[in-house]
Amino acid sequence: MSTPAGTTKEKSGCFGIATGVMFGIIGAVVLLIGGCTAFIAFSLDSDELVSIGASSTTESAPGVERSDGEASGDQDMSDGGETSQDAGGSESDDIVSCSRVDADAIVLEVVNNSSKTSSYVLTIGFFDDAGQRLADEIAFLNYLRPGERAIEEQFVFEERGTVCEVIDADRFAAESIAAEVAEISDCEISGQPDVLGDFQATVSATNGSPETSDYSIEVAFVDPDGIRRGTGSAFIEAVRPGETAPGDLFSSANFAEGYTCELIGVIRNAS
C-alpha cells in the first residue's frame, strides 16, 4: 500500500481488511526471503551491516556527532576499514521519518545516502501520545538506489500506538548481477487499477543462462517527481534457456496517474 503524502486511505470493509492482512503476510515473507538472499548473494563492501538506534523524527547530516558521541560515516571495508564519508554516512542519516496513517499502515521516508543500491531492515517502535513504548515490528525497504528517496506506505500488524519511530536500522548493499538485470524487460503499468485500487503491472524475463531458471523480480513505482512510492514483485518460474516468459507483478501500492514502473532488483536461480 503506497499512498502519496497528504492523502487518506479509504476502507474497503471486511474484505479489504482480510485482503490487506493476506497481502501483508505475503509481502513480509517475500521481502524477508529476498533481503536474506540478497545479503548472501551480493557484495557487502562499504555497506557492511551496522546496527544503529535512530529516531525517525530527526535527520542528521553525514559527519556530524551522533548522540552516542561517534561521528557518522560508514566503514569502507575495501580500503582497510577507514571511515569513508563518500560512502554516505551511517544508516541513521538515511532515515527521514515514520508516521502512522492508519490502524494497519505506516508511511516510511528513507533516502539512500550511500554509493550502492541498498536494502534496509528497520525496527519500528510504536508509542502512545505520552511517549510510552508499546510494541516493536520489523519493516523492509529493498533495492533503494543511490540517492533515491522513498516515501512508501506499508502494512503493519501492530495497531497500538499513535506514533511510530525507526528505532533501529540495518543497511546492506544489494546490487543485482548486471547480466541478470539485462534479462528483464517490458516493465509496464496497465493504466488501470485493480479492484482494490492497486497497480496492475507486468514484466518479462528472457533467460540468457544455459539452465532452466526461476526469477524473483522487484520493481519500483515512481511518481513524476522521481520519488519512489511503492514496489511490486513478480515470480517467473521454469524459464527455459533462450525463452522469454511474462509475469504479473504483485503490488499493494495504490495506483496514481503519471507513475512509472522501474526495475530495481532481480535474482535468478536454477529451477
Domain parsing of the chain, residue ranges: 14-63+81-173, 178-270
Q: Tell me how far apart the alpha carbons of residues 225 and 258 are, in angstroms, rounded to a whole number.
A: 10
Q: Tell me how far apart the alpha carbons of residues 17 and 221 are, in angstroms, rounded to a whole number.
A: 23
Q: What is the pLDDT of residue 8?
A: 40
> Do 213 and 221 contact (CB within 8 A), yes or no?
no
Q: Which residue has the cell 538506534?
A: 53
Q: What is the pLDDT of residue 87?
A: 54
Give CA angle at 258 (13, 218), nearest 5°: 70
Half-sphere exposure of 192 (CA within 13 A, CB side): 2
- The three-state DSSP-derived secondary structure of 246-264 is EEEEEECCECCCCCEEEEE
Domain 178-270 maps to which CATH number in 3.40.390, 1.10.3470, 2.60.40, 2.40.128? Answer: 2.60.40
Kindly provide the b/e burial profile for residues 231-267, where b requires at least 16 CB atoms within 10 angstroms of the residue's own CB: bbbbebeebeeeeebebebbbbbbbbeebebebbbbb
With H, G, I as helix, E, B as strand and everything else as coil, classify residue 184.
strand
Q: Tell me how far apart the alpha carbons of residues 120 and 174 are, in angstroms, rounded to a whole number.
A: 9
User: How do residues 8-46 score in pLDDT, each as one tens digit?
Assistant: 444 334 434 344 444 444 444 444 444 444 433 333 343
E strand segments, 180-226: 184-189, 201-206, 213-222
pTM: predicted TM-score of the whole model, two decimal places:
0.67
Half-sphere exposure of 104 (CA within 13 A, CB side): 17
Strand partners, 268: 215
Q: What is the pLDDT of residue 198?
A: 85
Q: What is the pLDDT of residue 199?
A: 85
> Do 168 and 122 contact (CB within 8 A), yes or no?
yes
Q: Which residue has the cell 504483485?
A: 250
Q: Which residue has the cell 553525514?
A: 62
Which residues are within 8 A (CB) of 227 and not within 5 positions of it... i.e. 6 or more apart?
149, 150, 151
Q: What percent of the chain has pLDDT over 90?
A: 59
CA-closest candidate to residue 251, choices 218, 204, 205: 218
Tell me which residues of the chain have a pLDDT lower than 70: 1-88
Give burial (CB, 10 Å; 0-12/13-18/19+) of 18.
Answer: exposed
Q: What is the pLDDT of residue 9?
A: 44
**How many helical (H) and strand (E) elements, i.e. helices and strands, does the chain have?**
2, 14
